[in-house]
Chain A
Amino acid sequence: MRNFEYAAADSEADALSLLADHPGETAILAGGTDLVSLLQKELVNPRRVVDISRVSELKAIEPTDDGGVRIGALATLEELLASPLAAEYPSLRDVASAIRAIQIQQYGTIGGDLCHLPNCWYFRKGYGLLGDSNGRALSEEGDNRYHAIFGNRGRAKFVSASRFAPSLIAWDASVRIAGPAAGEEAWLPLEQFFVTPKGDQQGVTRLAPGQLITHLELTPAAGRLSGAYEVLEMSGLDWPLAAAASTLEMEGGVVSRAKIVLGHVAPTPWVSHPAADVLRGQPITEATAELAGEAAVSEASPLKDNEYKVRLAKTAVKRSLLRAAGANV
């Protein structure tokens, strides 16, 4: 680990001003579950680490005026699990409870999850997000068993690491981005927050230097069904091999609108329109869920080592729908 300057913020404004001092040379510390290992491996080498963990205005989970919920970026996964407001969004609980390490539940924050950098082993070994070594595309040539099966025709083959993004996007969540200037803020649909980098200098989100995410807002849950399913190989702390989250609006026992988002299968959370389309006008049954799963993977483009993830993605979609419909799968 290299030396860095540590600065603790006690308000959002304070955090923005501490970030503004060293444009592009700062890192934001919340729970630290990702940043600390990035620092240890010298994959990020900030001049200053801005600790926002004491900024109390970013911790609350509270109702919005329209009956939705606003979640502070510093809400921990444990707080999310305990929150009666979040309980109205079952797919979020499916994900929070699947993060089985108590330490991560206690320290990890929802904002940190959204900003978690990819677990791609080429990135983590220092070959950059695109996994380049002297012009060779390592994640294409090398072992890509955990890599993307969608959105992988460009140079980026890694999978988005966020556990919560699929279910939040399925709930049409929006995200508040503050900065870089004091008082500057923007609300963005979370679906648009993630980007697939095309060059070495690009990141995996729209966050610009000096910005931070402060809150998420979810529209009212009432009347909608949701479920998430992560394919986890291990019962302890483990990352999904594939995941899916579904939010459904039902009318007369059939789906009037479905939003189905896959995780850990593409460089960004992957919204599946084909899966949503086949469900419209259908009840949720084992058979329709299976069809939606098949539709979801119809455009998959697996790499040489990850054909199996197509099956997993299909299963995840199917089981997320069955969970949304109340089945215990």
Chain B
Amino acid sequence: MPELPVAWKPQAENVVFGKEVSRIDGVDKATGFAKYSADINTPGTLHGKLLQSPYAHARIKAIDVEAARKVPGVKAVYVFPDRAPRTNEETGEPIYFEIEHEGQPIAAVAAETSGQADDGLRAIKVVYEPLEFFVDEFHLPRAVELGRARPIRAAQQGDLEGAFKAAAHTITGMYGIQTISHMCLEPHGSHCEFTDGDHLTAHLSTQNVSGTPGQFASPLGLDAAKVHVSCDYMGGGFGSKFAADEWDIACAAMARDAQRPVKLMLDRATELNIPGSRPSAFAEITVAADADGKLVAWDSHHWGTSGPQGGTVAPTVMPYVFEPKNRRTRATGIVTNRGPDRAWRAPNHPQACALTQTAIDDLAAAIGVDPYDLFLKNLDLTWSATSRNPADKDIYAAELEIAAKLMDWKAKWHPRGEAGDGPVKTGLGLALHTWGGAAGRGTCTVAIHPDGTVETFSGTQDLGTGTRTALAVILAESFGLPYEKIKVHIGSSKYPMSGPSGGSTTIGGVSGPHRRAALKALGRIYDLVAAKHSVDAGTLTAANEQILSAGKPVCTWAEACSLLGPMKVEFQGEGPANDGLTSAQVGGVQMAEVAVDVETGVTKVVRYVAVQDIGTIVCREQAKSQVLGAMIMTIAYALSEERIMDNATGRFVNADLQHYKLPRIGDIGELIVEFYEPESQYKKGVIGLGEPPVISGGAAISNAVANAVGQRIPVLPLTPKRILDSLRS
């Protein structure tokens, strides 16, 4: 028969695809059977630890590690590249390494016990020359004065001055969102072991299984083919785990020196400090509307810091989603001695949304209209109406309507500040967002055994999102098998290449190749069954562990597979391909109801609604979990989570789970997730969902607090201090 057409099954025929299923590795994770990098303890494993700079900015004038080598139990000592003073060969001048932030690694030791590793670290002598540091990301004039500010870009379009003059309503405000850390539940790190002399196996907590062998190989002078990266399970990455980091290279180098396995996982303080943060952003914004409430002009200048690189939020996403015709955006990055940034779930979008859609909400309050109506009225100014075309304004309108029903918006909404006389004020807020989520690159090998067993091999990884389950569901639906019976092998760089898990590219990146491989396999099997049973291959389908012809059973799945011959047969899939299995561009609307105790400044999320379009849904339960996780993460950065950099010491003073405040169950409130899914969404193709639901909640919660207390609390997170300071002034 000709090749089966490449498409998902008609929606009504699906048995597991798009349905609610339990994770195939849920029990393994819950029982501890699933092994994470920190769980790997091959015989003889040494404890690796880092020596880090207590200074935010300093020169290293000398390092002496000799005493550390003699400490009982210490088996290897490693000095990070360039840390030790060198001499410029031409001038004879000494070259000193410049520490750029507190916590920067200087050296590492590997020892028999954790305590001996500490003894080894204490024996290392480092002479620092402390330098002036700067960690203030908020006060722009100070940064300018000290030469720490870098203008990034100014963009202007339309007649800004004329538009502001003609506008009926104009507001100017200051807005901001503080830096946060990725704070992965499982910290960064690896277990490294050499076998056969120069073959490295690295159990690395990574979002990039297929891409990291080369990152180990090059600095260690190994062939990439001799490096095996393994990551069966991981506890989150959020954009911070794409690399074999310098501490992983240290781990591997010490394993080679000691000829013993070494494990080096970051401790919690270090996990908070050095392996990634989301840049802060603060802005002065003026936005105007005409008498009908249509946005007509926008002028913003935002600043913030990504750390020593001196970046801030990309100006290309300002203003966020709503684009008045007349607009100007400016941005300034600040060079700070703060741990560097890394991509954080929907890079730039949460900050841009928190700056933009709070200002628009303030404009609605100034006009005296319900922001729901103002947002609705301006949907033709969303990026959907421009060349960016990320989401559809009609979908936003539908999602606003669904969210409003779930929130009971029209009944509950009150004008800003009219929340009654008691100390606890409630309020509502909303915001909306968009994201791409196109399929990443991926390949896979699906093997069908003569006994009917199906397994797949793919060098992708499961961040914790449910990738394993998604692959099982896709193959199970394709072959008419129970999804629990599919053997899924991922998390090894020995498997067929699959792209890094970032930018919400994974589900599209793995589902397309698997469906394509499955269709190839099915075509082959249908031909064999047709020949053997004298039926028309074009009438065949696979369901209930059987092959059916026009709905009537012909043979069992296992009998069909036995026709493949005595050996397993492998089918390759790759992607992305422009065949409709995957797509891109989604939108979503979020609404929050909060209760603010104005005598304590303590804010609780009462109810939080997320309505999201995501194209074709593969695993409904896991998709919902993605949204729930994003909402919880949003409540954290909206209300309590922030990196506090101390101007007196240059240090990250709350790098612990006591003062780096993350919500617990009691802080979460009622979360409601609703997918926008008319038939057109199923036909759209699979799109990634990881980032979009974490974008607009910060603005929605801030808007709800403003609605409750009667004024904007300008900077997220909305801690008791910020709320009471604002209310007092």
Contacts and interface: CB of A to CB of B under 8 A. Distances in A.
A121 B118 contact: no
Contacts of A66: none
A124 B656 contact: yes
Contact of A233 (B119, B602, B725): B602
A234 B663 contact: yes
B599 A315 contact: yes
B719 interface: yes
Contacts of A143: 644, 646-648, 653
Given A138-B648, A233-B719, A311 B724 contact: yes
A109 to B, nearest CB: 19
A173 B116 CA distance: 45
Given A141-B648, A234-B661, A307-B725, A125 B653 contact: yes
A133 B602 CA distance: 33
A102 to B, nearest CB: 11
Nearest to A238: B661
A54 interface: no
Contact of A308 (B54, B114, B665, B725): B725
B728 interface: yes
24 contacts: A1-B114, A1-B115, A119-B658, A121-B646, A121-B653, A127-B649, A133-B649, A141-B647, A143-B646, A143-B653, A146-B659, A231-B602, A232-B602, A233-B719, A234-B664, A235-B666, A239-B658, A305-B721, A306-B721, A307-B728, A308-B720, A308-B725, A311-B728, A318-B599
Contacts of A305: 721
A307 B601 CA distance: 13
A2 B667 contact: no
B654 interface: yes
B640 interface: yes
B665 A235 contact: yes
A3 B118 CA distance: 10
A308 B724 contact: yes
Contact of A125 (B115, B640, B651): B651
Contact of A234 (B601, B648, B667): B667
Interface in A1-42: 1-3
A326 interface: no
Contacts, number: 97
A241 B601 CA distance: 11
B354 to A, nearest CB: 20
B599 A311 contact: yes
B600 interface: yes
Given A141-B648, A239-B658, 19 more contacts: A1-B114, A100-B666, A121-B653, A122-B649, A122-B653, A127-B649, A138-B646, A142-B646, A142-B647, A143-B644, A233-B640, A234-B664, A235-B604, A235-B666, A235-B667, A236-B664, A236-B665, A311-B600, A315-B600
Given A1-B115, A145-B721, A308-B721, A235 B664 contact: yes
A328 to B, nearest CB: 13
Interface in A82-140: 100, 119, 121-122, 124-127, 133, 136, 138
Nearest to B597: A315
A128 to B, nearest CB: 13
A237 interface: yes
A1 B114 CA distance: 9
Contacts of B664: 100, 234-237
Interface in B622-668: 640, 644, 646-649, 651, 653-654, 656, 658-659, 661, 663-667
Interface residues of B, number: 34
Contacts of B724: 308, 311-312
The 3 closest A-B pairs by CB, nearest first: A236-B664, A235-B666, A142-B648
Contacts of B663: 234-236
A315 B597 CA distance: 11
A235 B662 CA distance: 10
Contacts of B720: 231, 233, 241, 308, 312
B653 A236 contact: no
Nearest to B653: A121
Contacts of A307: 725, 728
Contacts of B648: 133, 136, 138, 141-143
Given A307-B728, A315-B600, A138 B640 contact: no
Contacts of B653: 121-122, 125, 142-143
Nearest to A308: B724
A318 B600 CA distance: 12
A241 B54 CA distance: 28
A239 B647 CA distance: 23
Nearest to B116: A3
A142 B649 CA distance: 7
A46 B648 CA distance: 30
A133 B648 CA distance: 9
Contacts of B604: 235
Contacts of A241: 600, 720
Nearest to A318: B599
A328 B691 CA distance: 41
A286 to B, nearest CB: 11
A119 B659 CA distance: 9
A30 to B, nearest CB: 19
Contact of B649 (A3, A138, A234, A237): A138
Nearest to A101: B664
B199 to A, nearest CB: 35
A121 B658 CA distance: 10
Nearest to B130: A134
A3 B599 contact: no
Contacts of B667: 234-236
Interface in A37-71: none
B651 A2 contact: no
A125 B646 CA distance: 12
B728 A125 contact: no
Interface string B651-691: 10110101101011111000000000000000000000000
Given A124-B656, A236-B666, A236-B667, A231 B115 contact: no
A55 B599 CA distance: 44
Most buried by B among A305, A306, A311: A311
A121 B654 contact: yes
Contacts of A133: 648-649
Contacts of B119: 2-3
A142 B728 CA distance: 22
A229 to B, nearest CB: 9
Nearest to B664: A236
Nearest to B651: A125
B109 to A, nearest CB: 15
A308 B599 CA distance: 10
A235 B663 CA distance: 7
Nearest to A120: B653
Interface string A296-314: 0000000001111001100
Nearest to B723: A308
B115 A3 contact: yes
A320 to B, nearest CB: 13
Given A121-B659, A312-B600, A1 B118 contact: yes
A136 B664 CA distance: 37
A161 to B, nearest CB: 11
Contacts of B649: 122, 125, 127, 133, 138, 142
A233 B661 contact: yes
A307 B644 CA distance: 18
Contacts of A142: 646-649, 653
Contacts of B656: 124
Interface string A236-255: 11110100000000000000
Contacts of A122: 649, 653
A121 to B, nearest CB: 4
Contacts of A124: 656
A236 B119 CA distance: 35
Nearest to B729: A307
A308 B724 CA distance: 6
A305 to B, nearest CB: 8
A233 B721 CA distance: 10
B585 to A, nearest CB: 37
